[in-house]
Structure 1
Amino acid sequence: MANPIFRQKLESGKFFIVPGIQDMIAAVIANKVGFDLVYGTGYWLTASAWGLPDAGIATYTEMRNRMETLVRTSNAAVIADADTGYGGLLNVHHTVKGYEASGVTAIQFEDQEFPKKCGHTPFKRLIPLEDMVEKIKVAIDARSDENLVVIARSDARASEGMDGMLRRLEAYSKAGADVLFPEALTSEEEMRRACAELDKPCMANMSNGGKSPVPNASVLEEIGYAYAIYPSLTSLVACTAMEKALRNLKDNGVGEPEGIFDFNEFCSLIGFEDVWDFEKKWAPAPAPVN
């Protein structure tokens, strides 16, 4: 069942922040910090699991498995990136049913051709507006839980400009999308225009190093966004920390740098205490010593 907290937050009208999660280590750290919602990012879950680019290479089955694992690991409700729905209308229907059964709280579709490209990289190609409208209608019809939020993303800014992108998102809204996702906007002015002209809650994609500026969350709230996702933050921060530690190891032989995360605490976060409790209860008694 979808967690109703996402709809409740949208209805409250109060801006909120959603971190991106690239693997289950990030998921347990997010559990420690405490978030109500997390974002299952297609780009970074693909990169962490298979070392592959976000270019439609990972399959529906692989990505559903990753999302299901994230739902199991995370204490928060999961917003799931479902790319294009992995094909045509029947694929979208199947994806909604599968992701919903996996326990996600929201599912996000985009208007690119299949296979897709990362929204902040070149060579994106769009499907016709009418085809995406049909995908949204199928997604709405396929869900069995009304708490499941359907998010419609448009990548049209690069090829059709702001007017074309807004026209598409208006159509997706009429088709029944709950949240609108104007991707890869290039300025705060464009962000303000999107939030002002669209009639459904809008989300901001704060992709570090991408096409869009990354202002403080207070600015995004003032602009009018309902919420913001930060899909690349934990991944890029982790890359920086890992490179620094590995260079220090290679150059200086330092295997225990300052500030390293406590191993015993991580054991607790990942669930070893439950394993130890099980062993205490069920492990056979040691053989007597003669």
Structure 2
Amino acid sequence: MLYATTPAHEKRRLLRERLASGELLRFPGAFNPLSARLIERKGFDGVYISGAVLSADLGLPDIGLTTLTEVAQRAAQIARMTELPAIVDADTGFGEPMNVARTVQTLEDAGLAGMHVEDQVNPKRCGHLDGKEVVDEPTALGRVRAAVDARRDDNFLIMARTDIRAVAGLDAAIDRAKALVDAGADAIFPEAMRDLSEFEAVAAALDVPVLANMTEFGKSELFTVDALRDAGVRMVIWPVSLLRMAMGAAERALDALESEGNLVSQLGAMQHRADLYDLIDYQGYSRFDAGVYDFTITKE
């Protein structure tokens, strides 16, 4: 009932423990708090909160328009709804190194298990679009150092994302990833790798976990979890997939409503009311109410 019972510091500790084991962890992207609960129920390892999804939820493109306040508030709503660790996209840290430091502490307070900060020029672009620009290495390292220095819980995961592969090639991406690790990054998110061999090369060059972004319609092929595991990847995200599925279903339903006048033809594609109530835990709330309102008022 209400929210998760596992405190944030324990989620972070457990995430670190599982990452240290060397297994591959799967983080589908939640587009709202209820979808985070569904991700947990289906047996995944964590929840990812995408900047692209948060932007799209506001009707905005993913070009750095969202604020730290907006991201932290929505991320907190999602993270508190699940026992799983939640990792959030912090874009370029929402400013200069001091802003990055504030971002880390704000996201710690919001109950997140970790975040990633990237090396794009601000305002950033979606990682699988053309025309990206990256900052110079001292600026990128400064963001990571600020993040690491600012955190108060050592188990809060600071991941560094680098977009330099699209600008300067794979060797440059590996060199930057190494420098980011030296600056204190706990994990590396190499964006827009072209094939499995590139993921394998990055993973082989580093002694920290590597994350793969399996976003649809992007630069990377949609590799299976097994293939990524064999390539040395230790975390995989599907950041926008559930939102895309939900919006596709919503569009089809609206088309049916327009053409048919009702949604009878779409009932089989809907989540049943009983399943929704089960996911929300209506029965738990009902039991709680019964325990509180267990008296009657009579007139003397």
Q: TM-score range by the shorter chain?
A: over 0.9
Matches within 5 A, 1:140-289: 140-256=148-264, 257-280=267-290, 281-282=292-293
Distance 2:281 2:90 in 1: 29
Question: Which moves more between the two structures, 20-29 or 9-18?
Answer: 20-29
Q: State the Cα RMSD in Å.
A: 2.0
Q: Summarize deviations over 1:147-204 as a string: whole Å, max 9, x none.
A: 1111000001111111211111110010111101110011222222212222321110
Deviation at 1:219, TM superposition (A): 0.4
**Does the CA-based 8 Å contact 2:40-2:46 persist in structure 1?**
no
Question: What is the percentage of aligned positions where both structures have the same residue?
Answer: 33
**Does the CA-based 8 Å contact 2:193-2:220 persist in structure 1?**
yes
**Does the CA-based 8 Å contact 1:86-1:115 persist in structure 2?**
no
Q: Return the letter of the residue paired with 2:155.
A: N
Deviation at 1:274, TM superposition (A): 4.3
Alignment TM-score, normalising by the size of structure 2: 0.89
* Counterpart selection for 1:11 from 5, 8, 20: 20
**Does the CA-based 8 Å contact 2:144-2:184 persist in structure 1?**
yes
Instruction: Report SS of the residue matched to 1:70.
Output: helix
* Counterpart selection for 1:42 from 36, 47, 51: 51
Aligned match of 1:90: 98
How many pairs were matched up?
A: 287
Distance 1:283 1:117 in 2: 56
Matches within 5 A, 1:85-164: 85-164=93-172
Distance 2:269 2:70 in 1: 35
**Does the CA-based 8 Å contact 2:118-2:163 persist in structure 1?**
yes
**Does the CA-based 8 Å contact 2:141-2:180 persist in structure 1?**
yes
Q: Summarize deviations over 1:103-152 as a string: whole Å, max 9, x none.
A: 11111100012221110112322111111111111111111111111100
Instruction: Report SS of the residue matched to 2:268.
Output: coil
Distance 1:46 1:274, change over 3 A: farther
Q: Return the letter of the residue paired with 2:26.
A: I
**Does the CA-based 8 Å contact 2:214-2:236 persist in structure 1?**
yes
**Does the CA-based 8 Å contact 2:25-2:45 persist in structure 1?**
no
Deviation at 1:25, TM superposition (A): 3.1
**Does the CA-based 8 Å contact 1:140-1:150 persist in structure 2?**
yes
Instruction: Report SS of the residue matched to 1:189.
Output: helix
Distance 1:25 1:246, change over 3 A: farther
Matches within 5 A, 1:46-65: 46-48=55-57, 50-65=58-73
Distance 2:294 2:32 in 1: 31
* Counterpart selection for 2:40 from 13, 23, 31: 31
Distance 1:197 1:31 in 2: 32
Distance 1:284 1:29 in 2: 36
Alignment TM-score, normalising by the size of structure 1: 0.92
**Does the CA-based 8 Å contact 1:23-1:45 persist in structure 2?**
no
**Does the CA-based 8 Å contact 2:25-2:46 persist in structure 1?**
no
Q: Which runs of 5+ in 2 are unaligned?
A: 1-7
Question: Which moves more between the two structures, 84-93 or 16-25?
Answer: 16-25
